[in-house]
Amino acid sequence: MLNKKDILFLNQYGIEQKTIQEQIELLNKNDSFIELSAPAIPENGIKKIDNKDYYINIFEQQSSKHKLCKFVPASGAATRMFKRLISYQQNPTDENYTEGNTFSVKSGFENIENFAFYDKLISCKNNISNHKELSEMILFSCLSYAGIPKGLIEFHNYPDGSRTAFEEHLHEAIEIDKIGKIDIHLTVSPEFLSGFKTKLKKIQTKTGINLKIDFSVQEKSTDTIALYDDGNIARDNEDNILLRPGGHGALLQNLNKIDADIVFVKNIDNLTHGDYLNETVAYKKLLGGVLIETVEELQKINSKLKNSPNESAIESSIADIKKEFNVDFYNSKDKVKDILAFINRPIRVCGMVQNTGEPGGGPFWVKNSDGTISLQIVEKAQINLDLKDQQKHFKAATHFNPVDLVCYLKNPEGEKFNLNNYVDKNACFVSEKTYQGKNIRVLEHPGLWNGAMADWLTIFVEVPLNTFNPVKELNDLLRQMHQPKK
């Protein structure tokens, strides 16, 4: 299906022919559904931790031995956040003004002084004549929020001025690691990179924050193809292969280049005002403590089985692994080899909050192709809800994934993993879209915390709902956790 022009075109982006063939095969599959075995619930897949201080102390006492990093996906414009306001600005009807109750344009304008960007807005024009003009100023002429990423939008007010979401992540990182050794890495879109760097200089001048802060962009080599209904590759106006961003799973390549032991992963919009930060940071440290304790236990198992693999060491190792990961090796032909292979994988400890109807994936026990089950974060789109048993498992879920992960990226010998070796490529996302009036099937890579981490060692921990404060719509910024304490 590829000609010489295609091959040259793909080569300039670092995309190999075999990659295109793999993508064609994935797009031609009947489905990419996974099979749920059961929801992960407290005491059956999700840890409920009562001794909170114990794990916080582990993190505070042991984290200095590890290289820390905070990894923040921050690509894309904030279009969805301003969807209602854009609709109203384009068509200022009463319906568009009031639709959405607490999320309506009306509610936002009635509370306009409580947004962190209010002072900047009135500095452009103190006397704003009507609501259409106000929406236009927010979206375009004054603040230009319709065309910038969430990370550069003022989220919170403080006595000394406002802070953007980007700036709040820096302050949160400082609270996680008081020693100041933690690095911060943001993935951003190329067109916004200079804006982030300019903002960083202003933040450093204003606050004196002196952390190592890096940026990267989603690699073009992770773009994916699409197919028309007839099976042919979709092409653009110049007859080149149509390449599309491969979703947040493509960011695995960015994460794979991080030089750190422990990496905190959190979305750019999941923040709290500094007045409420203590609880959020406490649970970040708790998750980090659970991770460090697990890493140390696996290092002990690795050392025992490599240096003195006697029967007692094997039996205790099997018991420890079964207790933590619900896996045993009693029927293995080569127990030592299989145990060592099992523990030599990246580790993630994931915070899970009670499901209150927020969108997002959830924690489940999933049946693997080899007949075993494992803990996975699963998106709704990955589940075949036409099957009664799958619908039953989905409805029985009690928790969902707020994207609150702490990861360990090195093996027990301290060597860095190649994260590409632990991906379930079949856990991709295939959806139907249109391009130039034609139907196309488009492919996204397995999600960063879904199939991209499918073969990681996984631990789910319950965390309180007040540690999850996403800003999906503009009026989310009016919620208590985004406002200064009175």
What tens digit of pLDDT does each residue of 137-164 get?
Answer: 999 999 999 999 999 999 999 999 999 9
Confidence at residue 75, expressed as pLDDT on a 0 to 100 scale: 86
What tens digit of pLDDT does each residue of 5-45 get?
Answer: 999 999 999 999 999 999 999 999 877 799 999 999 998 99
CA trace torsion 342, 348, 354, 360 (10° rounding): -100
Mean pLDDT of the chain: 95
Confidence at residue 29, expressed as pLDDT on a 0 to 100 scale: 85
Domains and CATH numbers, the chain: 4-77+164-482 (3.90.550.10), 80-147 (no CATH)
Please determine, for residue 358, whether its predicted confidence score (pLDDT) is greater than 80.
no
Q: What's the mean pLDDT in 97-104?
A: 95
Confidence of residue 76 (pLDDT cuts 50, 70, 90): confident
Confidence at residue 360, expressed as pLDDT on a 0 to 100 scale: 72
Radius of gyration of the chain (CA): 24
Confidence of residue 436 (pLDDT cuts 50, 70, 90): very high
8 A C-beta contact, residue 357 and residue 467: no
Residue in 465, 466, 447 with CA at minimum distance from that of residue 456 = 447
Confidence at residue 125, expressed as pLDDT on a 0 to 100 scale: 86
Encoded amino acid at 396, one letter: A
Confidence at residue 359, expressed as pLDDT on a 0 to 100 scale: 64
Q: What share of the chain is helix, strand, coil (3-state, %, to 5)?
A: 45, 20, 35
Percentage, residues of the chain above pLDDT 90: 91
Q: What's the mean pLDDT in 356-377?
A: 88
Please determine, for residue 345, whether its predicted confidence score (pLDDT) is greater than 90.
yes
Encoded amino acid at 10, one letter: L
Confidence at residue 178, expressed as pLDDT on a 0 to 100 scale: 87
Confidence at residue 43, expressed as pLDDT on a 0 to 100 scale: 87
Q: What's the mean pLDDT in 256-269?
A: 97
Phi and psi at residue 74, in whole multiples of 5°? -135, 30
Confidence at residue 281, expressed as pLDDT on a 0 to 100 scale: 98
Confidence of residue 470 (pLDDT cuts 50, 70, 90): very high
Report how far residue 293's alpha carbon sits from residue 291's, in angstroms, rounded to the nearest whole number. 5
Please determine, for residue 483, whether its predicted confidence score (pLDDT) is greater than 90.
yes
Residue in 261, 281, 265, 285 with CA at minimum distance from that of residue 273 = 281
Q: Facing residues of 440 across strands?
A: 228, 433
Report how far residue 90's alpha carbon sits from residue 136's, in angstroms, rounded to the nearest whole number. 9
Please determine, for residue 226, whether its predicted confidence score (pLDDT) is greater than 90.
yes
Longest distance between any two alpha carbons in the chain, whole Å? 81
What tens digit of pLDDT does each residue of 398-426 get?
Answer: 999 999 999 999 999 999 999 999 999 99
What tens digit of pLDDT does each residue of 107-119 get?
Answer: 999 999 999 999 9
Please give the structure tokens belonging to residue 469.
């404060």
